[in-house]
């Protein structure tokens, strides 16, 4: 693990990045990605990190910026974890500290984290929530992308899954309900998911009612997202979920995400590594978890109208390791 050397916050700012097209999930739609960028420095070297505050968890961009600006004194990853709770603000600074450590050491971040070199990996590509016909058309429009993630929304999800499968019989497909199913919909929708060849169903029930998952069959593996935040709550998921979606914005940075991935594996969970819709700067640190992941869902850069320079290189859905000029 990278040696902890103290650094100072030198900049924090909010940015808006336009999307190529509206991004629609069960909770609503958006046309821009709102991110927070933090920069830290020491010995004339600067590191940066990006995060996405998420309203589902009571976060706002303004609050995240204020929390970072309120940090005092030289920071290490350890002192940061004591100063801020898990969430987007801590993630931006934690990833900036990792970037700084890699630059100061003249090494790549994955070497400092002792996770092995990052290999190119296939990412999911998100199909926004819409009518079955629209989602099928959207899936058919990207025949070069072989791993799709469907955003579902409740009523009609069985038809959505069937329609996309009929449009893309060649694709691997996972689906994310974003807490939109009711308990009474579980059995029929999971049966429809199995029939349509879904590899995974993500967060079908609201996080506060997911105890019902312990008492039903899982014909398709079920993944926790809104129910899974840090290593501390993994134990409560046993018996309910088969997999967990690890996002740096939930864990509060790469440091806890790496620990959570190891703990999840030890507990028998399969892993999806995900992120919010953001630029390549946010996705790059999450790639350090890709070697432990069964599914990688880091397609945020593909959903933007423009990206950082240099961006992550993504060809036919395959992400290459980040250039050092981007991060790490």
Q: Which residues have a catalytic role annotated? A: 151, 247
Cβ within 8 Å of residue 266, ≥6 positions away: none
Chain centre to alpha carbon of residue 33: 14
The Cα–Cα gap between 89 and 53 comes to: 7
Long-range contacts made by residues 60-63, C-beta under 8 angstroms, separation at least 24? Answer: 61/14, 61/34, 61/35, 61/36, 62/14, 63/89
**Is 37 in contact with 164 (CB distance < 8 Å)?**
no
In eight-state DSSP terms, residue 25 is E
Q: Provide the token pair at 248.
A: 């740096």
**Is 161 in contact with 196 (CB distance < 8 Å)?**
yes
**Size of the chain, expressed as the number of residues it contains:** 328
**Is 204 in contact with 222 (CB distance < 8 Å)?**
yes
Q: Provide the token pair at 163.
A: 């329609």
């Amino acid at each position: 693990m990278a040696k902890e050397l103290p650094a100072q916050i030198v900049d924090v700012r909010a940015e808006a990045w336009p999307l190529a097209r509206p991004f629609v999930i069960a909770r609503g739609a958006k046309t821009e990605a709102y991110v927070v960028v933090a920069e830290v420095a020491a010995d004339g070297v600067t590191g940066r990190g990006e995060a996405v505050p998420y309203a589902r968890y009571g976060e706002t961009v303004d609050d995240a910026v204020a929390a970072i600006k309120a940090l005092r004194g030289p920071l290490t990853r350890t002192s940061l974890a004591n100063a801020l709770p898990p969430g987007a603000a801590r993630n931006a600074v934690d990833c900036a500290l990792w970037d700084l450590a890699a630059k100061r050491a003249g090494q790549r971040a994955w070497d400092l984290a002792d996770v092995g070199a990052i290999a190119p990996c296939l990412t999911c590509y998100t199909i926004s929530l819409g009518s079955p016909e629209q989602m099928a058309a959207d899936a058919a429009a990207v025949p070069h992308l072989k791993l799709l993630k469907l955003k579902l929304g409740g009523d009609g999800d069985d038809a959505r899954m069937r329609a996309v499968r009929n449009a893309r019989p060649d694709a691997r497909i996972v689906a994310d309900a974003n807490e939109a199913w009711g308990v009474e919909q579980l059995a029929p929708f999971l049966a429809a998911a199995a029939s349509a060849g879904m590899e995974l169903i993500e967060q079908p029930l609201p996080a506060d009612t997911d105890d019902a998952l312990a008492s039903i069959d899982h014909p398709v593996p079920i993944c926790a997202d809104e129910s899974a935040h840090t290593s501390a709550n993994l134990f409560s998921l046993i018996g309910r979920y088969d997999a967990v979606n690890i996002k740096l914005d939930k864990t509060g940075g790469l440091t806890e995400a790496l620990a959570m991935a190891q703990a999840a594996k030890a507990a028998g969970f399969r892993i999806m590594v995900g992120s919010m819709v953001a630029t390549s700067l946010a996705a790059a640190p999450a790639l350090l978890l890709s070697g432990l992941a069964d599914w990688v869902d880091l397609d945020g850069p593909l959903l933007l109208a423009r990206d950082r320079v240099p961006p992550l290189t993504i060809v036919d859905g395959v992400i290459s390791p980040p250039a050092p000029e981007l991060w790490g």
